[in-house]
Amino acid sequence: MASTAQPHPAVSYVMPVLNEFDYIETAIRTVLDQDYPGETELVIALGPSTDGTTELVRRLASADKRIHTVENPDADIPVGLNLAIRASSNPIVVRVDAHSQLEPGYTSAAVATLERTGAANVGGVMFAKGTTPFQSSVARAYNSPFGLGGARYHGGAKEGPAESAYLGVFRREALEKAGLFDETIRRGEDWELNLRIRWGGGTVWFDPDLKVTYWPRENWPKLARQFFATGVWRAELVRRIRGRNPWRFYAPPLLVLSLIVCIVVAVLQLTGVLHGRLGLAACLVYLAPILYFALVIWVALTQDVVKPWRDRWLFLIVLPTMHISWGTGFLLGVIRGAGDTNDTSRTGA
């Protein structure tokens, strides 16, 4: 990929938002407070929020000429991202999220990494945090290799080429060559875009020195709905892109299948259909769930021991919720496709 023409090329931040009143002002502040010496703009795609987000963003935009807005009536994230990208014009495009906060120096470091590596897209560590015990437990699961399958951007990996990137700092030419985000994909659109960038000969680069704070969902229903929708859309990607998906995609659905088999076997044993030696042999199906829940308990009680006991017990609820919701969504998505499944955690209470 060609070098940028100037040492500090102009940057366009793009952010889709929907019902983010509690987070949006801080997210915007961390963008505008970046110490990047080049020209910057922030383009926000406004979904049909019902919590005052739109009015707040417009007030902030009236006070700072760097903030621009576009309407995103359909609310879908990839549609909003594309609207914001097309409304911007700078050679570097930085994706930001209303549930995230850029660390100081993020933009300067990311642009320098783009220049140094010649990559098409650069991303760093997604570091989750929480302000309540439940949200903190979800953040712990995000940051754990047992939580989301150990993708590079959840920490612990060395710098180098990557499968995908959290958010992403893109060269505009690479985005345009790939055709921007696929607007038919409502979740996992970043992974799919990075796949097309790599297919086109571009490099996706992970730099652990780049850090972004992420605020997870605040309650159990939102977490379950978010991960169910994510699982459905990951299955849709598996249906569309056969043979190109990492093994970790299949772990949660295998867990759900094993739980279903256990329930069926238990019913057959209780009703006497399975008995004797056959019934005893059938008890082997319980082994996988027992090992899984033993692992969850071990992680909850032994990892990150500085956490208070309340947080550790919440973790016993949070981690299975993430895995079982994701796995259930994945199985349904494999069977029937994603259809019009949406992440209702962004619209519901």
310-333 residue pLDDT tens: 777 888 899 999 999 999 999 999
- Say yes or no to pLDDT of 5 above 70: no
Is the distance from CB of 91 to CB of 9 less than 8 angstroms? Answer: yes
Strand-pairing partners, residue 42, are 13, 67
The pLDDT, as a whole number, for residue 307 is 63
Whether the predicted pLDDT of 349 surpasses 60: no
Cβ-contact 170, 210 below 8 angstroms:
no
Helix (H, G, I), strand (E, B) or coil at 243: coil
How sure is the predictor about 143, in pLDDT bands with cuts at 50, 70 and 90?
A: confident
d(CA 227, CA 191): 16
| Contact between residue 60 and residue 67 where contact means Cβ atoms under 8 Å apart | yes
DSSP β-ladder status, 67-71 and 40-46: parallel
pLDDT digits (tens, 9 = 90+) for 200-230: 999 999 999 999 999 898 899 999 999 999 9
Q: Parallel, antiparallel, or unpaired: how do β-strands 67-71 and 121-128 relate? A: unpaired
pLDDT tens readout for residues 63-80? 999 999 999 998 889 999
Query: Quick check: 155 pLDDT over 80?
Result: no
State how far the Cα of 303 lies from the Cα of 323, in Å rounded to an integer.
18
Contact 140, 216 (CB under 8 A): no
Q: Across the strands, what pairs with 166?
A: 124
Please give the share of the chain, as a percent, with pLDDT higher than 90.
64
Domain ranges for the chain? 11-216, 238-346
The answer to whether residue 105 scores a pLDDT higher than 70 is yes
What token pair was written down for 288? 């996988």
Look over the chain and give the mean of its residue pLDDT values, rounded to a whole number: 89
In this prediction the pTM is 0.86
pLDDT tens for 12-31 read: 999 999 999 999 999 999 99
How far, in Å, CA of 339 to CA of 174, rounded? 29
What is the architecture of the domain spanning 11-216?
A: Alpha-Beta Complex (3.90)
Cα distance between residue 111 and residue 29, in whole Å: 20
Give the model confidence (pLDDT) of 249-306 as tens digits: 788 999 999 999 999 999 999 998 888 888 888 899 999 999 999 998 888 887 765 5
CA distance 113 to 82: 24
Tens digit of each residue's pLDDT (9 = 90 or more) over 116-132: 999 999 999 998 988 88
On the question of pLDDT at 33 being above 60, the answer is: yes
Q: What is the pLDDT at residue 199?
A: 93
Distance CA 318, CA 312 (A): 10
Q: How many helices (H) and strands (E) does the chain have?
A: 12, 9
Q: What is the mean pLDDT of residues 166-188?
A: 93
DSSP annotation of 152 reads G
Residue 212's nearest CA partner among 136, 155, 134 is: 155
Which residues have CB under 8 Å from 226's CB, separation 6+? Answer: 217, 325, 343, 345
Whether pLDDT at 2 is above 60:
no
